[in-house]
Amino acid sequence: MRSVFKYKVFGALRRFAIFLLVVWTVVSLVTLLIELVPGDPAVSVLGEQATPEQFAQFREKHGLDRPPFFFSFPRNPEGARHLQWHGADNRYTEYWLALFHGDMGRSFRTDRPVSELILERYPATIELAVAALFIAVLIAIPLGVIAGKNRGTWIDNLASVVALIGISLPGFVIGPMLVYVFAVKLGWLAPSGRFDWTDLILPSVTLGAALSAILTRMVRSSVIEELGEDYVRTARAKGLSETQVVYKHVLKNGLIPVVTILGLQLGILLAGAIITEKIFGWPGLGLLLVEDGIGKRDYRVVQGCVLVISITYIVANMLTDTIYRWLDPRIRVS
């Protein structure tokens, strides 16, 4: 008993340490990536025509005149590189300090705090992701169960082929096709925007399609595996109907691995949301990243969006992991 407790504490600490390591890496990457910008970020934001005073003011305001990291290897007048120590007054520490104050710097373009811009857009992305998840589960469970129950028949083959096609059709193909059918041809739904609840339908179907395909395959193989277990024979022997066996017993056990996949797929969902939001003009983090950030070269906004999307994904994964452990006691000890 004592060793189990020790294992649990150690395991939890280890997972937390990895979490901190991942967050540290993401923040560092995001801060230092700005160094990859070819040329001067100030020039690419203000344009070539700006006056030297404007450049200097811009650089000072956004800390771009400060060294990027604790040390650098600048060239001396003879052209040889040498190590130069800058101390704690650099952009890297500054970004960390700002983060601890709940701040992510100011947008290069709009001069508003990036955290404010992100908070405005965050709910829309979560709404889209949750709706997509819901649609994916709604499609995948019945389809997967039917395929698994009728394994090897034409129904199963059809479901598998449909699922594979779903995996292979990216959102930016499905999305515009849905727009063509439901907005252009039938005129039932708006092609873009977020004004009415019906505006959520097309984006969430687009985003959920690939996930539902992956989930269908998971549910199918899970159901097939569980159907071979002893408890299924017992349930059948005590006279339960096949539907009861499948939905009351098999599905309960079979959904455990599906939960993990759901969590892992959240990353694909969040990354896919960037594309889906662009297709439908859905005002979430993805649109903020692509249009306001990348499109207008507002690197502060890009940093903030990448950071928040990554952290959301990492936290979602940790939660999945916890739920998984709670659902399946076998993993807790082994």
Partner 1 sequence: MNRLTIIGIVIVVILVIIAIFAPLIATHDVGATNLSLRYLPPSAEYWFGTDSTGRDIFSRVVFGARISLKVGLVVVSVSAVVGTMLGALAGYYGGWIDRVISGYVFNVFLAFPGLLLAIAMVAFLGAGLNKLIFALCIIGWVGYARLIRGQVLKVREYDFVQAARALGASDARILFIHILPNAIQPLIVQASLGMAGAVLSEASLSFLGLGVPPPAPSWGVMIEEARDLSTLQAAPHALIFPGIAIALTVLAFNFLGDGLREYLDPRQRAR
Binding residues (CB under 8 A) for partner 1: these are 18, 21-22, 25-26, 29-30, 33-34, 36-38, 164-165, 167-170, 172-173, 175-177, 179-180, 183-184, 191, 221, 224, 267-268, 270-271, 274-275, 278-279, 289-290, 293-295, 299, 302, 306, 309-310, 313-314, 317
Q: How far is the CB of 163 from partner 1 (least distance, A)?
A: 11
Q: How far is the CB of 165 from partner 1 (least distance, A)?
A: 7
| Maximum pairwise Cα distance, the chain | 90
Do 261 and 216 meet the contact criterion of CB atoms below 8 Å apart? no
Q: How far is the CB of 4 from partner 1 (least distance, A)?
A: 24
Q: Strand (E) positions, the chain?
A: 71-72, 84-85
Nearer to partner 1, 19 or 240 (CB): 19
Cβ neighbours, 10 Å, residue 261: 18
Q: What span, in angstroms and rounded, lies between the C-alpha atoms of 232 and 225? A: 11
Q: How far is the CB of 2 from partner 1 (least distance, A)?
A: 27
Do 212 and 230 meet the contact criterion of CB atoms below 8 Å apart? no
Strand partners, 71: 85
Q: How far is the CB of 156 from partner 1 (least distance, A)?
A: 12
The amino acid that residue 63 corresponds to is G
Sign of CA dihedral 226, 228, 231, 233: positive
Q: How far is the CB of 171 from partner 1 (least distance, A)?
A: 8
Nearest to 60 by CA among 36, 33, 94, 86: 94
Do 178 and 221 meet the contact criterion of CB atoms below 8 Å apart? no
Nearer to partner 1, 55 or 172 (CB): 172
Nearer to partner 1, 167 or 240 (CB): 167
Nearer to partner 1, 58 or 299 (CB): 299
Query: Exposure of 301 by Cβ count < 10 A (0-12 exposed, 13-18 middle, 19+ buried)?
Result: buried
Nearer to partner 1, 140 or 308 (CB): 308
Nearer to partner 1, 106 or 278 (CB): 278
